[in-house]
Amino acid sequence: MKIIASLILVAVTTVPVEALADEFHLSCGGTASGIATSTTFGSAHEDFGSGSVSGSATTYSRRETADRLLLEIDEAGGRIRLPASMIPPIHNGGKNGWWPLTNVTVSETEVSGRFAVSLVNRGQFRIDRRTGDISIGQFGGGFRGQCEKFEPEERKF
């Protein structure tokens, strides 16, 4: 009996995105992290001969920047606009900088889902609806910050 009551509670508190009464838009400011690349070229020439050598080296490092992302949740699932520092060099381009969301779940306390910027680079997000805290994990980077609801048709000032 306890198992049935638990299942009913989960079914009541988790709303599939198709059952949303209205859509919402979030603007999230925070810290984005990603992989930065740097390529260095060099060459050396021999003074008394005809020999020369050249080469290049690429280094990878982790980069963190203060940035902002946008998130839209609607009946179709929604979409996300990631900061440039989170977009890998090889990606599918999205649509005008937006990537579709999948597996979106909305509950009283949380919004979560997934997105893919390429075949191998997939991310997932979780937003606490009480505090506005967002965390995103993806291959090679992520994002942590605070989200605020906004209306795209209304001007801020």
pLDDT digits (tens, 9 = 90+) for 79-110: 999 988 787 777 777 788 899 999 999 999 99
Domains and CATH numbers, the chain: 16-36+64-150 (2.40.160)
What would the two tokens of residue 89 be? Answer: 């060099």
Pairwise CA distance, residues 78 & 145, whole Å = 19
CB atoms within 10 A of CB 132: 14
Identify the pLDDT of residue 1.
Answer: 47
Residue with tokens 């989960």: 10
Pairwise CA distance, residues 17 & 6, whole Å = 21
Query: Minimal CA–CA distance to 143: which of 41, 89, 63, 60?
Result: 63
Identify the pLDDT of residue 121.
Answer: 82
On whether the CB atoms of residues 108 and 125 are closer than 8 A, the answer is no
6-34 per-position pLDDT tens digit: 444 444 445 555 455 568 999 999 999 87
Q: Which amino acid is at 3?
A: I
Identify the pLDDT of residue 63.
Answer: 79
Give the DSSP H or E segment for 28: strand 24-45
Q: What is the mean pLDDT of residues 48-74?
A: 83
Helices (H), 21-151: none
Backbone angles phi, psi at 105, to 5 degrees: -130, 135
Pairwise CA distance, residues 80 & 132, whole Å = 16
What mean pLDDT value characterizes the chain?
A: 81
Identify the pLDDT of residue 68.
Answer: 95
